[in-house]
Amino acid sequence: MTSLTNTWRSHLLSTLSGNSDGHPAWVDRLEEGDDAGFFGPGSAAWVVHGELPTLVAGIRSLLLQALHPGALAGVHDWSRYREDPLGRLTGTIQWLMTVTFADTATAVSESHRVGRFHERVRGTYVDAAGQTRHYSAGDQELLAWVHNVFTDSFLACHLLWGSPIPGGPDAYVREWTQAGKLVGVEHPPQSATELRQELHSALSTGTLKSDERVREIVSFIRNPPLSPAMMPAYRILFAGAVASIPREYRVLLGLRRPLFPAVTATRLLLAAVRRILGRSSTSEEAALRRIARIRASV
């Protein structure tokens, strides 16, 4: 059993960080810098992004992103997700953890790195009304959609499977507007109510679309090229993500709520993962060491 647990732990850490010890090189940079960063200990963002429901939230946000044909066109035309799906995953994790836990300068630098990649992402897509439209990754509509489904997914999954959020859902949405602004979102929602309203607006105005591209990427997210040891757990996480999505979006995605109690199964799986990996995040630990160094020097 110990050997099986160690093998599974290595597979999980490699999947999430690209490194079997769960400590990629960029984590070391979180110890550098001279301030607590945009959020700091006790913030809503630290709590939400430092706990394991993020495993489900990442899947959920990828599914919802696919419903905007412009956002999906950027992934379809420019992403190497089929050739290097884990590379895209680990890159997203690097940005998320850096913006959350790094000092201010490093968080800004990491967001600029992402922005430089987005500068070349442009093309055309057919919208839900059948009209051909030009897009670039820097378009406000696309930036806002990606930010909103990201924020909504991490909030929804944490409310289902995480600990209490300091200040509640509104505090998390309000804090995470900083990340949206760093990547170019001009007017991110400031509360959970505003967030729901913006998401519903995209749905009610016919902006979202279900087509063959959506079905293709949903199929890929359902069955990614993970190691066989990871797939049983991943299927539970995927089911939990689907169960957390409101029905009107699930219909567009062509997904049904799982027949088994996916929310409970996901809770049990996350508890098992917590026992295997431990409760603390390596990113959070690095940030705490930075802050302790700063306080000791004052």
The 3-class SS string of 13-64 reads HHHHHCCCCCCCHHHHHHHCCCCCCCCCCCCHHHHHHCCCCHHHHHHHHHHH
Q: Return the amino acid letter for 21.
A: D
The token duo for 234 is 């991943």
The token duo for 136 is 């670039």
The strand pairing partners of 252, in sequence order, are: none
Angstrom CA distances, 120 to 73, 94, 132, 142, stand at 13, 20, 19, 15
Tell me the C-alpha distance between 67 and 259, whole Å: 23
Give the three-class secondary structure for 126.
strand
Tell me the C-alpha distance between 162 and 149, whole Å: 18
C-alpha closest to that of 44 among 177, 193, 197: 177
Torsion angle, alpha carbons of 43, 157, 190, 187, to 10: 110
Tell me the C-alpha distance between 29 and 111, whole Å: 15
Residue-level pLDDT, tens digit, the chain, 298 residues: 445 455 555 556 555 555 555 567 788 899 999 999 999 999 999 999 999 999 999 999 999 999 999 999 988 887 766 666 665 677 788 899 999 999 999 999 999 988 887 788 899 999 999 999 999 988 999 999 999 999 999 999 999 999 999 999 999 999 999 999 999 999 999 999 999 999 999 999 999 999 999 999 999 999 988 888 889 999 999 999 999 999 999 999 999 999 999 999 999 999 998 888 766 678 899 999 999 999 998 7
